[in-house]
């Protein structure tokens, strides 16, 4: 979602290190964390220091293979993170809706285009359509999705759009009570109260049965997830056999074969962004693909849409500098103001090629 990102600072003897335990799982691969656990067992030689969410250190460990460490604080870290996300969106969603409407995500543009605010709102719809096209979602009445889940639904813009487009039933989940309430109110006002529903729920522990949804939709929510492995597993679990999973998310750049990690300067920039937005570890598009492959999902595709979202953050900054934007920010609280001040850093990350806007899609095999 807009206004969110994830960052980590860690040093270790790179390679692929697996940390595991009951509850959440931690994977450190080529110098970046794509999940966390508590308690953990270090299976390979590691020298892990200063694992952070923003400026907050959640554990520091130096260990050899096989040694167990109690990291109950990690569970508290996830709870603290989720509380911060919920409060951030409780504060900021009303401002976003007033200025940008009910779609809380990037727009899709032709590269180097110059557009107005109304064009930006159209571009947000185009983002949904381009994601559906990339995933080869059929409009055929016999093949179109009938049951959809919107993971990280915001105020329900995608849910309502997809429900209308496919005459489908859609369930949305968010950590923000304010978002869930507003999403349901908008659905009722638009005559969709019997088609869509929203609830406060954890994307890492979704309140749905296995194999329930023909389309699993995650539009800019993956960057919120402290455990990418568990996140992807949950998306796959709730997908019906033959169903499609669409993940549109911010990533850091893929590492080259000769690299073991991002550069110190790149890590520093990501940490500055992440301290403003309360969120944990970035991963690369390649990491997502590997996670999907590990679950034997099919037709895995990925693309870099960074150029297609380039006009978006300058437009967000411009809207924040209007009288309406400034007065809304001042009323909203420090969390939203802090996020607004970090927006130029997002532009810098995109321009440096560090931050990538990625789409990753796949299908769940039919037994």
Predicted pLDDT at 184: 97
- pLDDT tens sequence across 23-73: 333 333 333 333 333 333 333 333 333 334 444 433 333 333 333 333 333
Predicted pLDDT at 311: 84
Give the pTM: 0.77
Predicted pLDDT at 276: 78
Predicted pLDDT at 304: 98
Q: Which residues of the chain have pLDDT under 70?
A: 1-75, 94, 96, 113-118, 316-317, 319-326, 328-337, 339-340
Name residue 11's beta-bridge partners: 49
Do the Cβ atoms of 326 and 320 come closer than 8 Å? yes
Predicted pLDDT at 353: 96
Rounded Cα gap, residues 201 and 176, in angstroms: 9
């Amino acid at each position: 979602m807009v206004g969110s990102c994830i960052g980590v600072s860690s040093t270790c003897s790179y390679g692929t290190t697996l940390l595991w335990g009951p509850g959440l799982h931690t994977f450190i691969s080529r110098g970046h964390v794509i999940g966390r656990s508590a308690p953990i067992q270090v299976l390979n030689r590691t020298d892990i220091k200063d694992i952070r969410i923003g400026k907050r250190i959640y554990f520091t460990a130096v260990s050899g293979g096989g040694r167990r460490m109690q990291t109950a604080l990690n569970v508290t870290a996830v709870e603290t993170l989720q509380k911060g996300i919920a409060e951030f969106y409780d504060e900021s969603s009303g401002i976003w809706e007033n200025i940008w409407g009910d779609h809380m995500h990037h727009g899709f543009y032709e590269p180097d285009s110059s557009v107005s605010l109304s064009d930006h709102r159209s571009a947000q719809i185009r983002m949904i359509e381009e994601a559906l096209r990339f995933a080869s979602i059929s409009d055929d009445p016999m093949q179109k999705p009938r049951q959809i889940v919107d993971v990280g639904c915001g105020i329900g813009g995608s849910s309502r759009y997809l429900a209308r487009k496919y005459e489908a039933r859609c369930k949305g989940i968010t950590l923000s009570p304010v978002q869930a309430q507003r999403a349901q109110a908008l659905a009722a006002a638009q005559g969709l109260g019997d088609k869509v529903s929203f609830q406060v729920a954890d994307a890492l522990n979704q309140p749905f049965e296995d194999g329930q949804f023909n389309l699993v939709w995650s539009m800019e929510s993956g960057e919120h997830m402290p455990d990418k492995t568990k996140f992807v597993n949950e998306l796959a679990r709730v997908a019906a056999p033959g169903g499609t999973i669409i993940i549109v998310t911010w990533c850091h750049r893929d590492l080259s074969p000769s690299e073991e990690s991002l550069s110190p300067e790149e890590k520093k920039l990501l940490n500055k962004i992440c301290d403003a937005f309360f969120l944990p570890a970035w991963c690369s598009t390649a990491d997502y693909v590997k996670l999907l492959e590990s679950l034997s999902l099919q037709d895995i595709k990925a693309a870099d849409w960074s150029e297609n979202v380039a006009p978006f953050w300058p437009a967000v900054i411009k809207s924040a500098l209007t009288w309406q934007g400034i007065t809304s920010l001042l009323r909203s609280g420090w969390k939203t103001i802090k996020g607004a001040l970090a927006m130029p850093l997002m532009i810098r990350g995109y321009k440096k090629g560090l931050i990538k806007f990625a789409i990753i899609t796949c299908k769940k095999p039919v037994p």
